[in-house]
Amino acid sequence: MHLHVNSKATLRLEGIISLCPPDHLATPVRHAMNMLTRDILHVLGTEPRVVKDQANAEIVIRYGSASDGCAVHPEAFALRYTHDGEKSQLHIVAHDDLGLVYGILHVSETVLGIHPFWYWMDQPIQQRSVIDVHGCEPYDSPVAKVKFRGWFVNDEVCLIGWKEAYPPSREVWLPVFEALLRCGGNMVIPGTDLPKTGIHLELAAEMGLWLTHHHAEPLGAEMFLRAYTGRSASYKEAPELFEKLWLEAIEKQKDQNILWVLSFRGQGDKPFWENDPSFDTPTKRGEMISRVIYRQYEMIKEAVENPVYCVALYGEIAELYKGGYIDLPRDVIKIWADNGYGKMVSRRHGNLNLRMPALPDAEDGGRHGIYYHVTFHDLQASNHLTMFQGSAAFVKEEVESAFEAGCSDYLLLNCGNIRQHVYMLDIIRELWLRGTMDTGTHLHTFVGHYYRNHQEEISDLYRTYTEASIAYGPHADDLAGDEFYHHPARRLIGHWLQGRTSEADRGLLWATGEVSFAEQMQWFEQRGEEGHASWSKWVQKCEELLGKLDGDDKQRVLDHLWLPGVIHQTGSEGLLWLCRSYAAARSKEYAQAFVFASRSMWCYDRGLQALRLAEHGKWADFYRADWLTNIASTVNNVDTLRRFLRMQGDSPDFFHWYKEYLMPETEKYIYLENTHRNPLSDDELANQLQHYFQKQK
């Protein structure tokens, strides 16, 4: 590469670039160098060469000190330009490994145009022969608003099922951790209860990320019931067994950068007293949690120099702490959690929804942070396959309010499987780095980074996505994600086919309130009608835009906007036809109920086919492990239902409905059994009956 600085301080990059790395190339910096090398090749078409002598390099990557005139805070970096006659250099200078990583990736973005989610958004990379950098002004990175900021790669079934290897291999995790680093993140929980033999923990540390722990896996220790199968998971009965697991985890991690999570929940991420019912009062529960946390605290303190401690105030632990039942060490970071739907209140437990504020009181001193969701899995109404249903303005208000309450030491974001949630992940990136944002400016920039054409129409789809969502309750965060169409639907089918329709499905009272089962069906039918109307309009706008697009932009709109819209549209329509099927069956109109159930199944199946359309190129099989929302399971459940309904009126010969509704009158009374022995398939019969009933109307 030749760098020519003219009188207007324009830096021209062209040809073969020479990079000079530090003498000691730490693994995080090596990874960042590999990214920069790849990015230069993609943009300029030539692979840079690595040289050892700074004098022979155009880009110098080095550790610095205060004498370099750049900031000395952790993770800081600076860009400095030097000119000696015709020879010019760009210096990326930092005080630590992560500082160099961020500096390298800053150059990749600002000079080469590689944006944080280039991989996940299939960003079109503009190839150039020359890059002009105007200004060549020195740059010093600002201090991030949040000290510890990162992702919890949670419910990551798409990442798990994407490739054949289990646990997920290096090729799956590399783009995850790269995107996090490009977002300025510095910590991660890499997956949920994955085998310790996987590459995820080692690679995250290798790339410079702090490791932290799931609130149900304190200290990152092995689950008790996995280590001691058949034993009672009671700390009261066997403290030495729990502490053995904790000690093993401490020994394994003590030389790494760890944010130690202190906690005590039951096996399988639930209150511990579900395994030990003798803890039947808040006082008993709080005392046990406090005792365990102090014991974990002391064990770490004995083995680790200057440890960083966290306590996850999640679910029932937050409620006990707010009630004054839990005592915590003074120097822990208290982590407050939203309810899974982006609101900083306690989460819903089954049908119980206390919505207790989940932020520290003004007098609650010490250090605080938040655990926040833009995707969630709760078997109720959360979003997993689709974008977060709340608005950018809603997320901004909640996170900024948390900062105002003092929660700026830590932000752990539940990022799910990354690809579906990029827009919201990018919003949180802005917030954890700068502390505030303008949603309109951010959307304009985001769309400009990843789409070339029709940017205003694309922006409008992102803006109006929230408006199309089903409001199933009175609160601003009571908006239905994709699981709303599937888990409740499968519950309704199971309750119906188990013959329990004389009583409500109590697992759905969180949505419907105390009503009969028939009224529950009516309630979900109404929500389905509302969602189908609003999402159909939104998808129509999306499809009108798709008609104007081609190439990469069209594919991106299909993957990131049309797909979630269609999942909502087909899910809401499938739900309403399911509920109408029940109403018809209740009136013993079984043929009509069979048709409605078939229409429900066809709707859900269209959602499944939409997933397949998003599995192109490198994304082949990305959605094959949809085990949580599980659209395929819903299709199978509704298929089971329609088979059941056909048995109510078309059994045993499965010819009765054909004869009653479809056979010509001239044939009904003279046909011979031996000429009509091949019953129509369920789909054929449903299609023909549907046309018949529509003609009758």
Question: What is the DSSP annotation of 525-544?
Answer: HHHHHHHHHHHHHHHHHHHH
First to last CA, the chain: 75
What's the confidence (pLDDT) of residue 85? 66
What's the confidence (pLDDT) of residue 396? 98
CA distance 400 to 548: 38
Give the model confidence (pLDDT) of 353-365 as tens digits. Answer: 999 999 999 899 9
Question: How many residues are listed for the chain in this entry?
Answer: 697
Mean pLDDT for the chain overall: 93
What's the confidence (pLDDT) of residue 132? 76
Please provide residue 412's backbone torsions phi and psi, each rounded to the nearest 5 degrees. Answer: -105, 120
| pLDDT level of residue 697 (50, 70, 90 thresholds) | confident
From edge to edge, which strands make up the β-sheet containing 4-5? Answer: 4-5, 10-14, 130-134
What's the confidence (pLDDT) of residue 193? 86
3-state helix/strand/coil string of 376-411: CCCCCCCCCCCCCCCCHHHHHHHHHHHHHCCCCCEE
Beta-strand (E) ranges in 577-660? none
| pLDDT level of residue 339 (50, 70, 90 thresholds) | very high
What's the confidence (pLDDT) of residue 189? 97
Give the model confidence (pLDDT) of 117-174 as tens digits. Answer: 999 999 999 899 888 777 678 899 999 999 999 999 999 999 999 999 999 999 999 9
Give the model confidence (pLDDT) of 516-537 as tens digits. Answer: 999 999 999 999 999 999 999 9
Cβ contacts of residue 287 below 8 Å, gap of 6+? 325
Place of tokens 């659209």: 631
Quick one: 197 exposed, middle or buried, by C-beta within 10 A (0-12, 13-18, 19+)? exposed
Give the model confidence (pLDDT) of 406-432 as tens digits. Answer: 999 999 999 999 999 999 999 999 999
Give the model confidence (pLDDT) of 365-413 as tens digits. Answer: 999 999 999 999 999 999 999 999 999 999 999 999 999 999 999 999 9
Share of residues in the chain with pLDDT > 70 (%): 95
Give the model confidence (pLDDT) of 31-55 as tens digits. Answer: 999 999 999 999 999 999 999 998 8
Residue 57 has pLDDT above 80, yes or no: yes
CA distance 61 to 532: 55
What's the confidence (pLDDT) of residue 664? 85
What's the confidence (pLDDT) of residue 489? 98
CA distance 575 to 533: 13
| pLDDT level of residue 241 (50, 70, 90 thresholds) | very high
Give the model confidence (pLDDT) of 603-659 as tens digits. Answer: 999 999 999 999 999 999 999 999 999 999 999 999 999 999 999 999 998 989 998
The dihedral through the CA atoms of 572, 574, 576, 579 has a sign that is: negative
Cβ contacts of residue 168 below 8 Å, gap of 6+? 156, 159, 160, 162, 191, 194, 198, 199, 200
CA distance 539 to 501: 35
Q: Which helix (H) or strand (E) holds 318?
A: helix 316-322
CA distance 494 to 637: 8
Cβ contacts of residue 336 below 8 Å, gap of 6+? 313, 318, 344, 358, 359, 360, 368, 369, 370, 371, 402, 407
Beta bridge partners of 163: none
Quick one: 254 exposed, middle or buried, by C-beta within 10 A (0-12, 13-18, 19+)? middle
Phi-psi map region of 222: left, alpha, beta (phi>0 left; psi -120 to 50 alpha): beta
| pLDDT level of residue 675 (50, 70, 90 thresholds) | low
CA distance 195 to 201: 10
Helix, strand, coil share of the chain (percent; to 5): 50, 10, 40
What's the confidence (pLDDT) of residue 269? 74
| pLDDT level of residue 2 (50, 70, 90 thresholds) | very low
Two tokens, residue 570: 């087909």
CA distance 223 to 210: 21
Give the model confidence (pLDDT) of 454-507 as tens digits. Answer: 999 999 999 999 999 999 999 999 999 999 999 999 999 999 999 999 999 999
Give the model confidence (pLDDT) of 9-37 as tens digits. Answer: 566 777 888 999 999 999 999 999 999 99
| pLDDT level of residue 673 (50, 70, 90 thresholds) | low
Residue 666 has pLDDT above 80, yes or no: no
What's the confidence (pLDDT) of residue 676? 61
**pTM confidence score:** 0.95
